[in-house]
Amino acid sequence: MTLKTVLVTGGAGYIGTHTMVELLGQGYEVVCLDNFSNSSPEAIKRVEKIAGKKITTVTGDVRDREVMSRVFKRPIDGVIHFAALKAVGDSVKRPIDYYGNNVGGSIALLDAMHERGVHRIVFSSSATVYGVPEKLPIEESAPIRPINPYGQTKAMVEQMLLDWCMADATHTAISLRYFNPIGAHESGLIGEDPHDVPNNLFPFITQIAIGKQAQLTVWGDDWPTPDGTGVRDYLHVMDLARGHVNALEHAFGIGGHATVNLGTGNGTSVLQMIAAFEVASGKKITYQFGPRRAGDVAACWADPSLAQRLWQWQAKLSVERACADGWRWQQQNPNGYRD
Ligand SMILES: NC(=O)c1ccc[n+]([C@@H]2O[C@H](COP(=O)([O-])OP(=O)(O)OC[C@H]3O[C@@H](n4cnc5c(N)ncnc54)[C@H](O)[C@@H]3O)[C@@H](O)[C@H]2O)c1
Residue nearest to atom 39 of ligand 1 (CA): 13
Instruction: Find the 217 Cα to ligand 1 centroid distance in Å.
Output: 25
Strands 256-262 and 172-178: parallel
99 included as an active-site residue: no
Ligand 1 pocket check for 175: Cβ under 6 Å: no
Residue nearest to atom 23 of ligand 1 (CA): 10
pLDDT of residue 295: 80
Residues of the chain under the 70 pLDDT cut:
1-3
- 89: burial class by Cβ within 10 Å (0-12, 13-18, 19+)? exposed
C-alpha angle 72/18/14, rounded to 5°?
Answer: 90
Work out the end-to-end distance of the chain between its first and last CA atoms, rounded to an integer number of angstroms: 38
- The DSSP element (H or E) to which 155 belongs, if any, is helix 149-167
Residue nearest to atom 9 of ligand 1 (CA): 124
Read off the amino acid at residue 76. Answer: I
d(CA 12, CA 42): 9
Active-site residue, from 28, 150, 234, 337: 150
Per-residue pLDDT of 86-123, as tens digits, reads: 999 999 999 999 999 999 999 999 999 999 999 999 99
Residue nearest to atom 36 of ligand 1 (CA): 38
Buried b (16+ CB within 10 A) or exposed e, 306-333: bbeeebebebebbbebbbbbbbbbbeeb
Ligand 1 pocket check for 84: Cβ under 6 Å: yes
pTM for this one? 0.98
CATH for the stretch 5-185+234-264: 3.40.50.720
pLDDT of residue 3: 66
d(CA 164, CA 109): 12
Residue nearest to atom 29 of ligand 1 (CA): 83
- 62: burial class by Cβ within 10 Å (0-12, 13-18, 19+)? buried
Q: Measuring CA to CA, which residue among 99, 102, 97, 143 is closest to residue 124? A: 102
- 291: burial class by Cβ within 10 Å (0-12, 13-18, 19+)? exposed
Instruction: Find the 63 Cα to ligand 1 centroid distance in Å.
Output: 15
Instruction: Find the 82 Cα to ligand 1 centroid distance in Å.
Output: 5
Site to substitute for ligand 1 among 37, 107, 259, most atoms within 8 A of C-beta: 37
d(CA 212, CA 203): 11
Ligand 1 pocket check for 36: Cβ under 6 Å: yes
Give the CA-trace dihedral at 230, 87, 59, 262, to 10 degrees. Answer: 40
Instruction: Find the 84 Cα to ligand 1 centroid distance in Å.
Output: 5
Ligand 1 pocket check for 91: Cβ under 6 Å: no
Whether 53 contacts 46, CB under 8 Å: no
The residues near 40 (Cβ < 8 Å, ≥ 6 apart) are: 12, 193, 336, 337, 338
Strands 29-34 and 231-232: unpaired
Cα–Cα separations (whole angstroms), residue 224 to 137, 229, 265, 269: 16, 8, 19, 11
Site to substitute for ligand 1 among 15, 35, 62, 204, most atoms within 8 A of C-beta: 15
d(CA 127, CA 138): 9
pLDDT of residue 1: 47
